[in-house]
Copies of this chain bind each other. A is one copy, B any other.
Amino acid sequence: MSDAKITQISAKDIDAWDFEVDVVVAGYGIAGVSAAIEAARAGAEVLVLERSAGSGGAASMSGGFIYLGGGTPLQKALGFHDTTENMKAFMKAALGPGTDEQKIEVYCDESVDHYNWLVDAGVTFKESYWDQPGWEPPYDDGLMYSGGENAAPFSSSIPPAPRGHVPQMSEKKTGEQGGGYMLMKPLVETAEKLGVHAEYDIRVQSLIIDAEGRVVGVASKRYGKDVYVKARRGVVLAMGSFAYNEEMVRANAPRILGRPAASIEAHDGKAIQMAQSLGAETAHMDATEVAFFCDPQLLVRGVLINARGQRYITEDTYAGRIGQATLFHQDNQAFLIIDEAAFEEASKSESSTPELLLQPTWVGETVEDLESEIGLPAGTLQSTVDLYNRYAAEGSDPLLGKNPRWVKPLGTPIAAIDLRGRTGGFTLGGLRTDTDSRVLHVSGKPIPGLFAAGRCTSGVCAGGYASGTSLGDGSFFGRRAGISAARENNDVLVSVAVQRNSN
């Protein structure tokens, strides 16, 4: 059975099981730990299989944002009014086109509950709001805008509220003690207290099905040796994205090819393929989060242009939106135009991120000089700056709606920062699951015994992204995966006509 990778295996071919539990969870990142906790609380014996030497996954290395709203205790304590309806409206508008509306509905309806669940499990959110543009709060603040809610085009039609909830780290981020670490640590401890057992250095390779086509376990490898794990009730796939599977990226999300970011090598897409070998459906395999490697403190103070010298997105929105706009719609070509005074101000800001404080690539005494330095046709940048300055003098930006707080005429000397190719990211597409985290077959019916959550599934994001939605839906639907998998007879409601493997 050594050639069994990605292909399903028949239970009758298994001579002996190495482990046997109620619920097997594959992957010990945010989705896996959330599933494990809920399955254990539901009374199931749970075994987590983790490919690396420890728990945490990509989540523990991330900023730890969880996208929550609708009036969480933290939002309320900090004086922000939010409603479930506003949260839904924003997510549907900003994370599409093509969002899974049922997922967004339930995600928002239960967002306050989910906040409380995290807090109950030991995650701490400090009652402190970070009001500066940036990827992450540099200190231990618990709340910030993380999706562009307070920027055009959303802020005028959907009442904004910050929804990026950040687990409290030590006062200033140091090494591994970031928000993601402080998210995963208490959750893993909670799981352990509940009796969840974990096996490390073990790679899940294939799903094992019984004669009726129900998933009843997994085949895995540990140091080259086969390990068979029986799941009496269900298997939860929580193995992360396919950002590090070059072939899958080329075939599905080629724009991100060669630029994985905020993901780990374990994100090889195998969970997706294992389920696909059973006929699982996928969704939005082209979707990606896109990081933009430039300090938002610079962005808000400048004017961002494309390769034609034109502005294309308001500079004060969520930097991940700017990254997507640049990579998807501007062919990864961008320049930031910023005058000397604004550059100095950003450089001196306590809110800046040193490694993202890029230096000017070109400097000009006039816009005309700079235009020529960049290699733009004469007049292109000039007309962009003229139009911007015409309105900036009165503090407005009718073209893109930048917040007056950041609108100021561009002066001289003036510089350009070359931002071409400064993007990276991870994939958002994956298995299509229902709101109970059941993996759906292309027939539309759940595959019995198989559940999934996190970045091996398509979650609340279809086209867009906001920081915290990935850990957010990973934890939220991870919990649901654990609950569903732990339920006895969890396929009673499943009426799928299983023709496969019935010979």
Question: How many angstroms from the CA of A312 to the CA of B306 in the assembled complex?
Answer: 10
Measured CB to CB, the nearest residue on chain B to A210 is B503
**A88 in contact (CB, < 8 A):** no
**Contacts of A415 on B, CB cut-off 8 Å?**
none
Q: A254-B463, A380-B387, A383-B383 known; A442 and B273 CB under 8 Å?
A: yes
CB distance from A232 to the nearest CB of B (A): 19
* B383 and A252 within 8 A (CB): no
* B503 and A443 within 8 A (CB): no
* A251 and B432 within 8 A (CB): yes
Copies of this chain in its oligomeric complex: 2
Question: How many angstroms from the CA of A206 to the CA of B390 in the assembled complex?
Answer: 64
Which of B98, B377, B398 meets A377, CB within 8 Å? B398
CB distance from A98 to the nearest CB of B (A): 3
**Contacts of A98 on B, CB cut-off 8 Å?**
250-252, 254-255, 257
* B283 and A400 within 8 A (CB): no
**Contacts of A281 on B, CB cut-off 8 Å?**
251, 273, 276
CB distance from A464 to the nearest CB of B (A): 11
Question: How many angstroms from the CA of A252 to the CA of B281 in the assembled complex?
Answer: 11
**Contacts of A330 on B, CB cut-off 8 Å?**
329
**Contacts of A308 on B, CB cut-off 8 Å?**
310-312, 399-400
**A500 in contact (CB, < 8 A):** yes
**Contacts of A502 on B, CB cut-off 8 Å?**
10, 13
**A8 in contact (CB, < 8 A):** yes
**Contacts of A4 on B, CB cut-off 8 Å?**
497, 499
> Is the contact region of chain A dominated by helix, strand, or loop, or is it mixed?
loop
CB distance from A465 to the nearest CB of B (A): 15
Interface size bracket, A side? 35 or more
CB distance from A249 to the nearest CB of B (A): 9
Q: A97-B254, A97-B257, A387-B383 known; A501 and B499 CB under 8 Å?
A: no
**A498 in contact (CB, < 8 A):** yes
B-contact bits for A304-348, CB 8 A (1 contact / 0 none): 000010111000000000000000111000000000000000000
**A279 in contact (CB, < 8 A):** yes
**A81 in contact (CB, < 8 A):** no
**A157 in contact (CB, < 8 A):** no
Q: A284-B252, A442-B277 known; A503 and B383 CB under 8 Å?
A: no
**Contacts of A441 on B, CB cut-off 8 Å?**
6-7, 277
Which of B277, B312, B383 meets A386, CB within 8 Å? B383
**Contacts of A458 on B, CB cut-off 8 Å?**
251
**Contacts of A462 on B, CB cut-off 8 Å?**
254
* B503 and A13 within 8 A (CB): yes
* A499 and B442 within 8 A (CB): no
CB distance from A325 to the nearest CB of B (A): 9
The residue in A458, A497, A500 that gathers the most chain B C-beta atoms within 10 A of its C-beta is: A500
B-contact bits for A478-500, CB 8 A (1 contact / 0 none): 00000000000000000011111
Shortest 6 CB-CB distances between A and B: which pairs? A98-B254, A377-B398, A286-B286, A277-B279, A251-B283, A10-B503
A-B contact pairs, 21 of them (CB 8 A): A3-B497, A5-B443, A6-B441, A7-B279, A7-B500, A9-B499, A98-B257, A273-B281, A276-B279, A285-B285, A285-B286, A308-B311, A308-B399, A310-B310, A377-B398, A380-B387, A380-B399, A383-B386, A383-B387, A500-B501, A503-B503
**New contact pairs (7) apart from A97-B254, A380-B387, CB-CB < 8 Å:** A5-B443, A96-B254, A251-B281, A328-B329, A329-B329, A377-B399, A501-B501
A contact residues vs B (CB 8 Å cutoff): 1, 3-13, 96-98, 206, 211, 250-252, 254-255, 257, 273, 276-279, 281-286, 308, 310-312, 328-330, 377-380, 383-384, 386-387, 390-391, 398-400, 432, 441-443, 458, 462-463, 496-503
